[in-house]
Chain A
């Protein structure tokens, strides 16, 4: 049974977390995530959610505390953004390296300096090498749906890894949209009980110990193998979710790609604006499609490479790796080798700068007319 309602993104994620029935939450405020953790605190104080809510003194402690609780077998959650995610950074790598099943929501936000509270994807993408599964939502519905999926993915015995949901700060966190909520028992049945603990009190082991040069790489290789194997399992979990939600979830969404001569690639909220740009281009007879990345880690190389052969692709990045280029553009370039595709990188929307479907359309037209540089900044 589904209920149609309207919620802002932060409250939609909080509702999904409540339905996932975590045992422990760590809360520390930062814009634009704060109203999500406030909502969860309301659920705990009203008794709707029976969880231990730990008020910590920093983001570093938020992740450290749920790290411990998750090892002991608890289902756990926290959320942060921007500078908070950076301050959490050391523990982000510890839980990734130790393959701790937990979920964190990142309300994406630009990083200082200069100071900005507004949206871009830089914070989320700084954690791309931290051994976390990373998912990115396009709208409030997906922020809700992917949060529920994140718990199942993270605790799946073939995966066992932390999972991060990215959703655009303000653009989704504070925007109210229509969404469909699953009933509690459907969520219960989908995620299932967390029935394992990393700590086994009968067979104690050391966690977070030293690994010498002879063993360190072995640990890292085991994570690599787990992430390689996770791809297929995540697809299965997404398919399973799609069956109960009637919304199709896959690591990438391809919109009008099949007969496309040109492609746009994007992730996050503005991929919706890019989709509208595709419709405008199609109405003028220009065969453009949209590849939308929902799962950023593990990166869906095989799925993307099916579509990009011989195509010119405009890749939208709301982020930048200084001295290198757009992060998503670089990821797609890395798989376009030998596929005869040409990647055009567009850097836009940093620090909350608005980007319209007309601007995306104009840039796609410049790509079609061979008037676009390898890298353009939409100022």
Chain B
């Protein structure tokens, strides 16, 4: 079982990212959970969501305490959490090594380039989910693309599908 922490700011689509991971992974015959934490949400405040992925039924419903993988949606958040596990994927254009395996993608730039912006906020979730598909190899890009199609209203499918593909193609590892 792989446990993932998704950590971002209200408005960046953290909960949606978790749900897309679940849809994509389940569509390949597996089991998964997306567990958002709800508190005093407002746009810009730090928010987090957890994901469990497993090839067997999942009985746990508690929170995740020691994620093996952390996804950081906003560069400024990197110093506000203790990183656990040895895989980090971060939205950053000037990344530093945060874990043994640190991957980065400049999701803010991609989102602005393709105009995936809502109320001034670059929406980076599908870009990062594309990056996760590439980094983990746990599900195919096609499965993610189908998850996006099943999730968004039709008018938002293409832009999010493009965003995910860019995240998938452009994510890099810090050597």
- Contacts of A172 on B, CB cut-off 8 Å? 61
How many of chain A's residues touch chain B, expressed as a range?
A: 20 to 34
Mark out the residues of chain B between 28 and 43 whose CB falls within 8 Å of any chain A CB in the assembled complex: 30-36, 38
Mark out the residues of chain A between 1 and 24 whose CB falls within 8 Å of any chain B CB in the assembled complex: 4-6, 8
Mark out the residues of chain B between 14 and 71 whose CB falls within 8 Å of any chain A CB in the assembled complex: 18-19, 22-23, 26, 30-36, 38, 58-63, 65
What is the CA–CA distance of A42 and B62 in the complex, to the nearest angstrom? Answer: 31
Contact, CB under 8 Å: B65 / A275: no
Q: Mask for A330-366, Cβ within 8 A of B = 1, else 0?
A: 0000000000000000000000001111000000000
Contact, CB under 8 Å: B34 / A276: no
Contact, CB under 8 Å: A174 / B62: no
Mark out the residues of chain A between 133 and 175 whose CB falls within 8 Å of any chain B CB in the assembled complex: 139, 168, 170-172, 174-175
Is A54 interfacial (CB 8 A cutoff)? Answer: no
Residue ID in chain B nearest A173 by CB atoms:
B38
Q: Which of A4, A168, A176 contacts B61 (CB 8 A)?
A: A168
Contact, CB under 8 Å: B38 / A177: no
Residue ID in chain A nearest B23 by CB atoms:
A6
Q: Which of B19, B62, B150 contacts A357 (CB 8 A)?
A: B62
What is the CA–CA distance of A8 and B23 in the complex, to the nearest angstrom? Answer: 11
Is A105 interfacial (CB 8 A cutoff)? Answer: no
What is the CB-to-nearest-CB distance from B139 to chain A, in angstroms, rounded to a whole number?
12
Contact, CB under 8 Å: A176 / B22: yes
What is the CA–CA distance of A278 and B35 in the complex, to the nearest angstrom? Answer: 23
Contact, CB under 8 Å: A4 / B59: no
Contact, CB under 8 Å: B36 / A177: no
Residue ID in chain A nearest B31 by CB atoms:
A178
Contact, CB under 8 Å: B61 / A356: no
Contact, CB under 8 Å: B59 / A276: yes
- Looking at A213-221, A265-273, A296-304, A308-316, the stretch in contact with chain B turns out to be A265-273
Mark out the residues of chain B between 71 and 113 whose CB falls within 8 Å of any chain A CB in the assembled complex: none
- Contacts of A69 on B, CB cut-off 8 Å? none
- Contacts of B61 on A, CB cut-off 8 Å? 139, 168, 171-172, 175, 269-270, 272-273
Is A110 interfacial (CB 8 A cutoff)? Answer: no
- Contacts of A6 on B, CB cut-off 8 Å? 19, 22-23, 26, 32
Q: Mask for A308-329, Cβ within 8 A of B = 1, else 0?
A: 0000000000000000000000
Is A81 interfacial (CB 8 A cutoff)? Answer: no
What is the CA–CA distance of A46 and B34 in the complex, to the nearest angstrom? Answer: 27
What is the CB-to-nearest-CB distance from B42 to chain A, in angstroms, rounded to a whole number?
15
What is the CA–CA distance of A255 and B123 in the complex, to the nearest angstrom? Answer: 45
Contact, CB under 8 Å: A356 / B65: yes
Contact, CB under 8 Å: B22 / A177: yes
What is the CB-to-nearest-CB distance from A266 to chain B, in angstroms, rounded to a whole number?
11
- Contacts of A4 on B, CB cut-off 8 Å? 26
Q: Which of A5, A177, A273, A275 contacts B33 (CB 8 A)?
A: A177
Contact, CB under 8 Å: A178 / B26: yes
Mark out the residues of chain A between 164 and 197 whose CB falls within 8 Å of any chain B CB in the assembled complex: 168, 170-172, 174-178
What is the CB-to-nearest-CB distance from B68 to chain A, in angstroms, rounded to a whole number?
17
- Contacts of A272 on B, CB cut-off 8 Å? 58-61
- Contacts of B31 on A, CB cut-off 8 Å? 177-178
Is A88 interfacial (CB 8 A cutoff)? Answer: no
What is the CB-to-nearest-CB distance from B123 to chain A, in angstroms, rounded to a whole number?
19
What is the CA–CA distance of A356 and B66 in the complex, to the nearest angstrom? Answer: 12
Residue ID in chain A nearest B51 by CB atoms:
A176
What is the CB-to-nearest-CB distance from A131 to chain B, in angstroms, rounded to a whole number?
30
Contact, CB under 8 Å: A176 / B60: no
Contact flag A5-B26 (CB < 8 Å), given A178-B31, A357-B62? yes
Could you list which residues of chain B lie within 8 angstroms of chain A, going by C-beta atoms?
A: 18-19, 22-23, 26, 30-36, 38, 58-63, 65, 150
- A174-B38, A354-B62 known; 8 new pairs, CB 8 Å cut-off, are A6-B19, A32-B38, A170-B38, A171-B35, A176-B19, A272-B61, A275-B59, A356-B62
28 contacts between A and B (CB under 8 A): A5-B26, A5-B150, A6-B19, A6-B22, A6-B23, A6-B26, A8-B19, A8-B34, A139-B61, A170-B38, A171-B35, A171-B61, A174-B35, A175-B33, A175-B34, A176-B19, A177-B31, A178-B31, A178-B32, A270-B61, A270-B62, A272-B58, A272-B59, A272-B60, A273-B60, A273-B61, A273-B62, A356-B65
Identify the 5 closest CB pairs spanning chains A and B, nearest first: A272-B59, A176-B34, A269-B61, A178-B26, A6-B26
